[in-house]
Amino acid sequence: MSPFIAELIGTALLLLLGTGVVANVVLTGTKGNNSGWIVISAGWGMAVFVAVACVGQYSGAHINPAVTISLAIVGSFDWAEVPSYILAQMIGAIVGSSLAFFAYYKHYAASDDAATKLATFSTGPAIRSLGWNTVTEVIGTFVLLIAVLHFAHPDASTISGAPVTFNGESVKVGLGSVGAVPVGLLVFAIGLSLGGPTGYAINPARDLGPRIAHAVLPIPGKGSSDWSYSWVPIVGPLLGGAAAAGVHMLLAVWATHM
């Protein structure tokens, strides 16, 4: 499987299961209706687990532009491959969230609240304050990437161009180099602890792809796609990932002088 197809499939699985669990919890008449934030956080964690387990060996399972760009910043991923990875992630995000919509179509028709329908696709703040919402996304993505970079390169002095191994075998760097179970638990933890203010996008494709799908799909009774907020879950994760990459490189410099 090519890395492009792997990233597309992995991100589609992530969004199918991730937006699917939100739909199950918030839409009218589902079996999981009103089961709460813990179910949503667990569902997203397991969605990451499934995606990474399926495609990690082929592409590294970045499934997130913030991961791709941060790995390129620290020298663990070729900048020339960044555009194709992000394109695959965006296509996969649109496909996955669209499949979740079709799976829950009758429940979208049965639900009256337009904001709830948008919430099954993209993130939104509990208290709207764009600056502080961005800070939340920066912090959440920083936690994700500092952990990914540490797992991929436990010895910070070896980050630049170093091969990454998992279970004794060389693997493409990414969430796949962390391992499906650890990264799933990591995302679950971020959701539980830091997801309350914004819904924790921590992934530009996770929010933008489904927001585009929301805008174009024939969703019964849908309202605005809230484009005025859409930059927050793009800029915040990219800044948080870049900050994590910067800290990791500083640790590398510090380690080489010890």
DSSP state of 156: G
- The pTM (predicted TM-score) of the whole model is 0.90
pLDDT of residue 178: 62
Dist CA 211 CA 227 (whole Å) = 8
If we measure between CA atoms, which residue out of 69, 53, 72 comes closest to residue 183?
A: 53
CATH number at residue 164: 1.20.1080.10
Q: Measure Cα distances from 243 to 15, 36, 140, 236, 255 in Å.
A: 25, 32, 11, 10, 18
Domain count, the chain: 1
Mean pLDDT by 10 residues, the chain (258 residues): 96 98 97 96 96 91 96 92 97 98 97 96 97 98 92 52 45 61 93 97 98 97 96 98 93 73
**Which domain does 30 fall in, by range?**
3-256
Half-sphere exposure of 136 (CA within 13 A, CB side): 24
Q: By the 8 A CB rule, do 224 and 118 touch?
A: yes
